């Protein structure tokens, strides 16, 4: 369990990182917290020729709050966001989801944007970003673009990121007046990959849920309000609409059942936060 040889380059500035990614092309990977990439390197599942470490770039380590969103740089570790004093007030859904993300030790190293770039279908941060309809700020040496979360996650560990492109920051829309949030997750053990995780966003007039762990990417659906008798049927259709998989930890049928039961529970909890 030793990695194949690679070049390791520390970038001091964002421009330097982008230059290095540009030069190395498809054989380069960005390394930030390394919590997903390093095990893959050690098992030789991933064999990039070049690793560009972005953790030395000061500009990327900022959490910037504005009226409508919180912008989190690519160098911000999950623990740093967890410790951000305004988290519960400004991003209550993320505050609920973060404790489920791995363990204290992995959050101390892992970054927010690294989890988004890895795009594990069970992961809590992509789920939260989809639920809140946030967006990602992507950069290459030549261009910058902002991509909606819905367009960023393409499938199992597959994202919209192109060659030489990296996430510079992510923007989470902040808490809105008159909105309730809910989050629930079922895993085998604390800190495990979610079998099913559900995030709900509910207002007086609308409700939506986002679900991770079932399909090959987190997906969001508008649903009837919790008081609507049609909610259970709607959740059932969502359960069948997701391409639930069987694996050694849970059957597809179990994942659908959790979508129904956890879906309702989470929507009700989000609605309860409204008042």
Partner 1 sequence: MNEHTRPKSLVGKSVERVEDASLLKGRGRFIDDLPTRRDTAHAAFLRSPHAHAEIRAIDTEKARAHPGVYAVLTGEEVANLTNSLVVGVKADVECWPMARDRVRYVGEPVVLVVAESRYVAEDALDLVEVTYETLPPVIEPRAALLDDAPVLHPSLGTNLINERAFRYGDPDAAFAVAAHRIAITTAYPRNSCTPIETYGVIAEYDPGEDAYDVTANFQGPFSIHAVLSRALKVPGNRMRLRTPPDSGGSFGVKQGVFPYVVLVAIAARVANRPVKWIEDRLEHLTASVSATNRVTTLEAAVESDGRITALSWDQIEDCGAHLRAPEPATLYRMHGNMTGAYAIENVTIRNRVVLTNKTPTGLNRGFGGPQIYFPLERLVHKIADELGLDRLDVIRKNLVPSDAFPYRTATGALLDSGDYQSALDRAVTEGGLDELIARRDAARAEGRLYGIGFTAAVEPSVSNMGYITTVLTPEARAKAGLKNGAQAVATVGIDPLGSVTVKVASVPQGQGHRTVLAQVVADRLGLPLSAVRVNTELDTNRDAWSIASGNYASRFAPAVAGTAKLAADSLRGRLATIAAAQLNVTAEQVEFADGKVFDSGNPDNSVSFARVAAASHWAPGTVPEGTGQTIRETVFWTPDELTAPTPQDGINSSLCHGFIFDFCGVEIDRDTGAARIDRYVTMHDCGTILHPGMVDGQVRGGFAQALGAALYEEYAYGADGAFLTGTLADYLIPTVLETPEPVILHFESPSPFTPLGAKGVGEGNCMSTPVCIANAIADATSVEDLTLPLSPSKISALIHGEEKPSAKPKRDVKPMKARAGERTLSGEGSAEVSAPREEIWAMLLDPKTLEAIIPGAHKVEKISDTQFRADVTLGVGPVKGRYRADITLSDMVEPEAVTLSGGTEGALGSGRGQGRITLTKTETGTRVSYSYEAGIGGKVASVGGRLLDGAARVVIGQFFQSLARYAGRGKAAKSASSGILARLRSLLGRRA
Applying CB under 8 A, which residues contact partner 1?
Answer: 1-5, 25-26, 29, 37, 39-40, 43-48, 118-119, 121-122, 154-163, 186, 188-193, 195, 216, 233, 236-237, 240, 243-254, 256-258, 260-262, 265
Q: How far is the CB of 184 from partner 1 (least distance, A)?
A: 10
Secondary structure of the chain as H, E, C letters: CCCCCCEEEECCCHHHHHHHHHHHHHHEEEECCCCCHHHHHHCCCCCCCEEEECCCCHHHHCEEECCCEEEEECCCEHHHHHCCCCHHHHCHHHHHHHHHCCCHHHHHHCEHHHHHHHCCCCCHHHHHHHHHCCEEEEECCCCEEEEEHHHHEEECCEECCCCCCEEEEEEEECCCCCEEEEEEEECCCCCCCCCEEEEEEEECCCEEEEEECCCCCCEEEEECCCCCCCHHHHHHHHHHHCCCCCCCCCCHHHHHHHHHHHHHHHHHHHHHHHC
- Nearer to partner 1 by Cβ, of 146 and 162: the residue is 162
Q: How far is the CB of 190 from partner 1 (least distance, A)?
A: 4
- Nearer to partner 1 by Cβ, of 15 and 246: the residue is 246
- Nearer to partner 1 by Cβ, of 70 and 101: the residue is 101
Q: How far is the CB of 181 from partner 1 (least distance, A)?
A: 20
- Nearer to partner 1 by Cβ, of 231 and 258: the residue is 258
Q: How far is the CB of 249 from partner 1 (least distance, A)?
A: 7
- Nearer to partner 1 by Cβ, of 198 and 202: the residue is 198
Q: How far is the CB of 204 from partner 1 (least distance, A)?
A: 27
Q: How far apart are CA 184 and CA 121, in angstroms?
A: 16
Q: Angle between the 252-274 and 231-241 helix axes, to the nearest 10 degrees?
A: 140
Q: How far apart are CA 209 and CA 229, in angstroms?
A: 17
Residues linked to residue 104 through DSSP beta bridges, in sequence order: none
Q: How far is the CB of 116 from partner 1 (least distance, A)?
A: 13
- Nearer to partner 1 by Cβ, of 96 and 262: the residue is 262
Q: How far is the CB of 188 from partner 1 (least distance, A)?
A: 5
Tokens of 233: 């049927």
- Nearer to partner 1 by Cβ, of 45 and 272: the residue is 45
Q: How far is the CB of 269 from partner 1 (least distance, A)?
A: 13
| Number of other residues whose CB lies within 10 A of the CB of residue 76 | 23
- Nearer to partner 1 by Cβ, of 47 and 62: the residue is 47
């Amino acid at each position: 369990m030793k990695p194949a040889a690679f070049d390791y380059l520390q970038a001091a500035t964002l421009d330097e990182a982008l230059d290095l990614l540009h030069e190395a092309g498809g054989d380069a990977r960005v390394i930030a917290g390394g919590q997903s990439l390093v095990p893959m390197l050690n098992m030789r599942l991933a064999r990039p020729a070049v690793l560009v470490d972005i953790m030395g770039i000061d500009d990327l380590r900022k959490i910037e709050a504005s009226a409508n969103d919180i912008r989190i740089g690519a160098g911000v570790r999950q623990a740093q966001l967890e410790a951000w004093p305004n988290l519960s007030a400004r991003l209550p859904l993320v505050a609920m989801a973060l404790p489920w993300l791995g363990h204290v030790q992995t959050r101390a190293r892992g970054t927010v944007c690294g989890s988004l770039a890895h795009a594990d279908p069970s992961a809590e941060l992509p789920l939260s970003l989809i639920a809140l309809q946030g967006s990602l700020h992507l950069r290459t040496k030549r261009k910058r673009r902002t991509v909606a979360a819905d367009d960023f996650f393409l499938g199992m560990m597959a994202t919209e990121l192109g060659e030489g492109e990296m996430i510079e920051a992510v923007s989470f829309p902040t808490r809105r007046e008159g909105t309730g949030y809910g989050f629930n997750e079922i895993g085998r053990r604390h800190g495990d990959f979610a079998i099913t995780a559900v995030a709900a966003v509910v207002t007086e007039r609308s409700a939506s849920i986002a679900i991770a762990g079932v399909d090959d990417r987190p997906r969001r659906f508008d649903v009837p309000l919790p008081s609507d008798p049609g909610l259970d049927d709607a959740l059932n259709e969502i359960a069948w609409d997701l391409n639930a998989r069987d694996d050694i930890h849970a059957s597809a049928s179990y994942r659908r059942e959790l979508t129904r039961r956890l879906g309702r529970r989470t929507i009700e909890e989000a609605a309860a936060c409204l008042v």
